[in-house]
Every structure is written in structure tokens, then in C-alpha cells.
Structure 1
Amino acid sequence: MDLAYDGGGFKGWARQPALRTVQGDLEAALATALRLPEVQVVCAGRTDTGVHARGQVVHVDVDAEVLEATAGRAAPTPLASLHRRLNGILATDVRIHGVSEAPEGFDARFSAVWRRYAYRVADTPDLHDPLMRNHVLAWRAPLDLDAMNEASRMLIGLKDFAAFCKKREGATTIRTLLDFHWYRDADERAVATVRADAFCHSMVRALVGCMLAVGDGRKSPQWAHDVLVNGKRDAAVAVVAPHGLTLEEVGYPPAGQLALQAEKARARREHTEEELHHG
């Protein structure tokens, strides 16, 4: 399933007791549509509280007999029926854009080879649009995108991003940052494109916060690299607000490589966790 959501009304993606989450709403809608007591889904990237998505990807295991038995007569196929029913059940801040049978070996999380986020910033008063206040960060000073791109380039590659991640027990902070650059969109807002094999907690928002300090002249481009090398959280690196961040796209290998990619990703995770467990 391909889906989009406005994260403003959710306490993040992951299911939490007594709190509204995207996973909780989606699983409840699936259980209703499929007439099952419960359903569990797997997503490509677990977004934090207030973070949006245009290109989230989810998989769920469903028996063909269940699909057939719950399909409506108006839709041409059981999957089309499920698609229509889900959008009828879900609140309008979540939309299912597509439902299809997954290729053999597909795993929404472990088959993914990269995730791409965008962060949007309005850096002059005339760009502070109140109608976009829940999706664009209003910044206090004009930004030098050339300086920000110079700093961003220094962080690309396979590196330890401990300085930009909220530490979690048993979790590695080593990631491959594939792309990190800034540009002006059609409305002259500053937009960061951040693409990596995976992200650790708060990584994108910390990277953006670091670049804003460079862009408004408080820090030099070299400082961003120094923060990375130092490997510790720097008080000058603000973790910016979540509402400017959107999961835009998830990349997968060709169908014949999906199972292999998932196997490799699981092995890397288990190997890293074992290393951490043994010190």
C-alpha cells in the first residue's frame, strides 16, 4: 500500500496505547474492512510525531480468501475494493494512494534501499504563509543556500551520525547519506532533500538544524563537518520542529532482488545489534 498523511494530528507512526497514531488508525481500518480481529502492518519508515508523508509504503499479509470474501461488488477487483473501503473508513488526513499485490520477497521495511525526505523553510517574512504554517518552518533570517550546500556535501557518505541522532539503547548510528542538498522551490522556499539508506531518530531534523545555523551566518560550513567528526551532540545544533518534514519517497530494487535485499538488511541489523550487545 502507498499512502500519504498529514502528521499534525498523530503521535507519530508507531502504535501507542491510548494515543492516535498512523499505524493504529490504519490497522484499525484494515481490521474493519477485512472483518478480522486484528491486523499488523509493516512500514518503510516510522515517522515521528508531527512529521508528514507523501510516499509512505506499507505491507500487510492477507489471505486471498479473506480478500475475496470481503470484496464489494462495485469494484473490479478485491484489491480495488479494499482500496476504496479503506479510504472510506480512514479520516481524511490519511489517504491510501494505491493497493497492489506485493512481488515475491517484498518487505516494506527491509527491502527498501533508501528513503527520501524533504524539509521546507520560509526564510523571509513575505514567505510566511499562514495557510502553510503546519507544513513549512518559518525562519527568522534569510538563508545562504550556497553555504548550506557546501556544508551538506561534507556529510555525504557512509559515516557515524551520532552527533545528529537521539541515542537509543542497542541502536547503531552508522548510516549512508546518499544525497543532501538545498534548493529554492517555485515559491522561493528553501527546501532540503535528504536521502539515505535509513535514518536514526531525529537525524533529519538535526541535520537541518545544523544547516540553518550555517545558512543564517552563525556558523561556518566547516563547523558542520567538525560536529560530525566530534561524534557528540552539539548544543548549537537545534533539532528543528517536525512540521516542516515530509517523507517523500522510498526506493526499492528490481523485483528479483527484493528478497535478497531484505535478507541483507536483516543480517546487517542483527550483526550490529549483536556487536552492541557484546560491547
Structure 2
Amino acid sequence: MKRIALGVQYDGSPWNGYQKQLDRHTVQDQLEIALATFARAPIATTCAGRTDTGVHALEQVVHFDTGLTRDMQSWVRGVNTFLPDSIAVRWASEVPAAPADAPQLEFHARFSARARTYHYVLYNHPVRSPLLAGKAGWTFRPLDVERMREGAAQLIGQHDFTAFRSAQCQAKSPVKHMQEIRIERIGHAVVFTVRANAFLHHMVRNLVGSLVYVGNGRQQPDWIGQLLRERDRHLAAPTFMPDGLYLAHIDYDPKWQLPQEAGSLLPWFAL
């Protein structure tokens, strides 16, 4: 058996999230249907990180095992033939699948990941743009980026992120290591880039919602640190809309030699 890793990009707007469901209206369902059609056999996939309804991916990483022998470009072109326009395999790479007694030698899309990076794109303009519907969040009140940066700086490091955790979160621990937060204004867009070892359910959207409260003057920057200390989800801002959230990049050890893309922002973010 061979293990294949895929880089998958998708527009999450039409789908009920990544993880497969009974209605088969998810990204994973569509990907596995396309893989099975191409391979003429059922194929189960494992992803680096599940995304919610309406959330997009510049580069999701999945793996699967197969006995089929095909060159990597055949996997890309063949599977894409059976995928809808909103989902595409961008690259394929054969990776090691080690015996059960030597898991450290085996590539795993989820457990081999060292960090995840998300972008949240927020359109900051008095009037919403229909061209960005489903692709960016929107707030009409002016945002002070420097105030948001001051608030975000308190999130760097290892913290208990209970205040930014969904009630439905199934993670064993709310403690995560936030490695980087960048907030940039590009035209009328404010782009949040967050990188951590892992994320809780709705964590990025909850962080963005609270930082928007700081940016529009509703709260002071030190409120973010207070939320961390209080560990009470009810004290933080409401969960922000999913439209502007993008899974951008998964960090892996270079030894796996994955042909990953940069996860760079799309040009229309500057609208």
C-alpha cells in the first residue's frame, strides 16, 4: 500500500464544512467520491484540520492509502475531473506509511503537522461589497489597527484559550501555543494572520470578534488579556462570521518534502 498526501483548495461557501456527514454535502464527501470514482475503489481520507461551514482553504492537506499505482500528476488531473468547481486538488505527493510499530516514520496529515496558519479577511468599509459576499467578513465601523495589534500581542505564547472556545469544542485541552499574530490593512481590507500549534473550535473567529471590539473602540486593548485570565467565553465578543476565514497553510517537517504552496493572499483582498 502507498500513502499519498494531497494539497486541497476549496471555497467553503457551498459546503457544510469539511468533515463528512450523512447528507454527503461536505468537502470531504466530495473529495472521497471523486477519489473513489478515479481509483474505482473506496478511499478514506484524513485531513490536517477540519473547517466549519462557510470556511475556505487555500491549502488543506489530506492523506490516504491506496494500492493503486499512478504518477502524482495523474492523481491531480484525474481527481479534479470529478470534483465540483469549488474544490480542487493542487498537488499530490507520495509519503511514507510505516508499520504500526514505528509510527515516527509515518506521515500523518494531522499528527505530523507542527502548526496551522489561518487568515481572516475583513472588509472595513461603510458599505458592504456584494463582490465579497461569502469571501470576506464585513464591519462598517472604522477600525484602529494599532489598537488591535496592541490587544493581539497579549495572545502570543502558551495560554488557556477557554474565553475563545466554542461550547461544542471537543478538544481535550484549551491550552494552545499562539506563535504569531499579524494584523495588516490592505486597502479597505484588514487581514488577520494567526499561527498556532493547533486551534480550538471557532477560536479564530472568536479572536477576531474580540479584536474588532478593540479596534472600533468598544473595548480597550488590555481587555484581551483580561479575557485570557477570566477564561469565560460569555465575557468575550460574539463569534464572527465564517465568510472571511481561510485555512492558509499547514507546517510540516521539511523531511516529508511536500510540494506545498505559500498560502499567499488573493489579490482581491485589497478591494
Letter of the 1:97 counterpart: R
1:108-147 Cα distance to aligned partner (Å, 9 max, x none): 1111111100001111226x33111211111020100000
Alpha-carbon RMSD across the aligned residues, in angstroms, is 1.8
Greater share of residues in helix = 1
> 2:12, 2:107 → 1: CA distance?
26
CA contact (8 A) 1:134 1:243 kept: yes
Per the alignment, residue 139 of structure 1 pairs with 139
Which of the numbers 37, 48, 51 marks the counterpart of 2:52?
48
Distance 1:137 1:91, change over 3 A: same
Contact 2:10 2:86 in 1 (8 A): yes
Partner deviation per Cα, 1:166-215 (whole Å, 9 max, x = no partner): 14356211110111121012x33101001100001000000000100000
Report how far residue 12 of structure 1 moved.
Answer: 0.6
Q: Give the structure 2 partner of residue 191 of structure 1.
A: 191
In the TM superposition, what is the alpha-carbon distance from 1:234 to its structure 2 partner?
Answer: 2.7
Spell out the pairing of 1:168-183 with structure 2 (5 A cutoff). Answer: 168=169, 171-183=172-184
Find the aligned partners of 1:7 and 1:142 in 2 and give their Cα distance: 28
Question: Do structure 1's residue 123 and structure 2's residue 124 form an aligned pair?
Answer: yes
Give distance in 1, aligned partners of 2:228 and 2:126.
32
Q: Does the CA-based 8 Å contact 1:54-1:248 persist in structure 2?
A: yes
More strand by share: 2
Output aligned runs, 1:1-279, within 5 Å. 1-36=6-41, 38-63=42-67, 66-68=68-70, 78-103=71-96, 105-125=106-126, 128-167=128-167, 168=169, 171-185=172-186, 187-255=187-255
Identical aligned residues as a percent:
39
The amino acid of 1:222's aligned partner reads D
Residue 256 of structure 1, CA deviation: 7.0
Unaligned runs of 5+ in 2: 1-5, 97-104, 259-271
> What CA distance in whole angstroms lies between the structure 1 residues aligned with 2:201 and 2:217?
27
Give me the whole-angstrom Cα distance separating, in 2, the residues matched to 1:21 and 1:224.
34
Partner of residue 269, structure 2: none
Contact 1:159 1:175 in 2 (8 A): yes
User: Once the two structures are superposed, what CA deviation does each residue of 1:148-179 show, in whole Å capped at 9, x if it has no partner?
Assistant: 00000001111110110114356211110111
**Whole-angstrom distance in 1 between the partners of 2:75 and 2:57:** 21
2:80 maps to a residue whose letter is N
Cα pair 1:227 1:234 within 8 Å, conserved = no
Structure 1 counterpart SS, 2:234? coil
Count of equivalent residues? 244
SS in 1 for 2:176: strand
TM-score w.r.t. structure 2 length? 0.86
Amino acid in the other structure paired with 1:60:
F
Distance 1:52 1:132 in 2: 13
- Equivalence for 1:72: none
> CA separation in 2, counterparts of 1:116 and 1:170?
18
Residues 1:256 and 1:50: Cα distance change in structure 2 (over 3 Å) = closer
User: What's the secondary structure of 2:44's corresponding residue?
Assistant: coil
SS of the residue aligned with 1:99? strand
Distance change >3 Å, CA 256–CA 131, structure 1 → 2: closer
* Structure 1 residues not aligned, in runs of 5+: 69-77, 259-279
Take 2:213 and 2:92, find their aligned partners in 1: how far apart are those partners? 42
Deviation of 1:85 (Å): 1.1
Shift of 1:236: 4.4
Rg larger in 1 or in 2? 1
- Counterpart of 1:183 in structure 2: which amino acid? E
TM-score w.r.t. the length of structure 1 is: 0.83
Task: Go from structure 1 to structure 2 and tell me whether the alpha carbon gap of 1:98 and 1:227 turns closer, same or farther (over 3 Å shift).
Answer: same
In the aligned structure 2, how far is the partner of 1:184 from the partner of 1:238? Answer: 22
